[in-house]
Amino acid sequence: MAVISYREALNQAMREEMERDESVFIMGEEVGHYQGAYKVTQGLLQRFSSRRVVDTPIAEMGFAGIGVGAAMVGLRPIIEFMTFNFSLVAIDQIVSNAAKMYQMSAGAFHVPIVFRGPSGPAVQVASQHSQALESFYAHVPGLKVVLPSTAYDAKGLLKTAIRDDNPVVFMEGETLYGTTWEVPEQEYLIPLGKGDIKRPGKDVTLVAWSKMVWVCLDAAKALAAEGIEAEVVDPRTLRPLDTEIICDSVKKTGRCVIVEVGWPVAGFGAEVAYQVQRQCMDHLDAPIERVCSDDVPMPYAKNLEDEVQPQVKDVVAAVKRALYLA
């Protein structure tokens, strides 16, 4: 299999789906002539023309609304937000229209639209551009919420999201675009709602998504050096959530640490903890641990930015608490 970047995998997914289905088009700020703010749409304007790769004004509410309308009449828009922080400008279109139109129209209108773009903290972009908003969107019935952690997952999940007849919020890790992974050259799809074991283990379950999967993999390596084998479970989609893969792991290990880059209050990790407690109570040998970002807006200074976000040392410390070693 070829080893390609997360960025290239997303680009391949969109290119292949646009070649397969003429109703698929891309719309967003600088997606065309500038090739995308993170170069995810590189080459697509030249391949498909400005009719299907549409540069927009800086007007998220406007072009998100155009996308919703286009989806209602049979097209399959991919709406790129330069960063998911800017999706807050368009949240009424996403939450009040895209998520609810199928139900409110008694099934007359499907809304097959993908809202995609970078999400979560980057590097020194300060508080307004460093928010992890997945719990906002996972709260809303009618939306599907996807957070791939690897290039393999990014390609397979995006292709599935584009083909889905429901609105999908597809949140890409802002610091993951340059990471690489093996990706098959032949076509493949990954179903939404199906998690993945990124590393097997027997002593403790680490549940994480997006960039935190990589932090947990590094933590698992550090723990392995001390004789502790951590299993890393990546749900890949938060809505629908694969509780089965999470709970099967916890039933095996007896311990669970949930790691997310979002804030602790009403973070999605709390929902995961509830599901684990509800389904695995008799199998838990220790309280569930959560590792989150600090409950503050993101600082700009690099040392403080690192301190606020979950680090390997924080995950290791949480695992040792769960194992009663700290």
Residue of 129, 139, 229, 283 marked active site: 129
Q: What is the pLDDT of residue 124?
A: 86
Residues paired with 204 in a beta bridge: 230
CB 213 within 8 A of CB 175: no
Q: How far is residue 2 CA from its own chain's centroid?
A: 23
Q: What is the pLDDT of residue 126?
A: 86
User: What distance in Å separates the CA atoms of residue 91 and residue 79, rounded to the nearest whole number?
Assistant: 13
Question: What 3-state class would DSSP assign to 257?
Answer: strand
CB 260 within 8 A of CB 268: yes
User: What distance in Å separates the CA atoms of residue 21 and residue 60, rounded to the nearest whole number?
Assistant: 25
User: What distance in Å separates the CA atoms of residue 317 and residue 314, rounded to the nearest whole number?
Assistant: 5
Q: What is the pLDDT of residue 254?
A: 97
pLDDT (tens place) for every residue of the chain, 326 residues total: 899 999 999 999 999 999 999 999 999 999 999 999 999 999 999 999 999 999 999 999 999 999 999 999 999 999 999 999 999 999 999 999 999 999 999 999 999 999 999 999 988 888 889 999 999 999 999 999 999 999 999 999 999 999 999 999 999 999 999 999 999 999 999 999 999 999 999 999 999 999 999 999 999 999 999 999 999 999 999 999 999 999 999 999 999 999 999 999 999 999 999 999 999 999 999 999 999 999 999 999 999 999 999 999 999 999 999 999 86
* Active-site residue, 17 included: no
Strand order in the sheet with 114-119: 53-55, 24-28, 76-80, 114-119, 168-173, 144-146, 237-239
CA angle (213, 218, 220) in 5-degree steps: 90
* Active-site residue, 129 included: yes
Question: What 3-state class would DSSP assign to 79?
Answer: strand
Report strand pairing: 2-5 vs 24-28.
unpaired
- DSSP structural state of residue 97: I
Q: What is the pLDDT of residue 234?
A: 98
Dihedral sign for Cα atoms in the order 307, 313, 318, 321: negative
Name residues whose C-beta falls within 8 Å of residue 194's C-beta, 6 or more positions apart in sequence.
236, 237, 242, 245
Domains annotated on the chain, with CATH: 2-183 (3.40.50.970), 196-322 (3.40.50.920)
Residues paired with 24 in a beta bridge: 76
Q: How far is residue 78 CA from its own chain's centroid?
A: 16
Q: What is the pLDDT of residue 326?
A: 63
Residue 280: Cβ within 10 Å count: 21
Scanning 121-178, the segments in alpha helix (DSSP H) are 134-138, 151-163
Q: What is the pTM of this model?
A: 0.96
Pick from 236, 222, 230, 268: which is nearest to 249 by CA?
Answer: 230
Residue of 29, 60, 260, 305 marked active site: 60
- Type and span of the H or E element at 318: helix 312-322
Residue 129: Cβ within 10 Å count: 17
CA distances in angstroms from 104 to 99, 111, 130, 165, listed in the order given: 10, 12, 34, 16
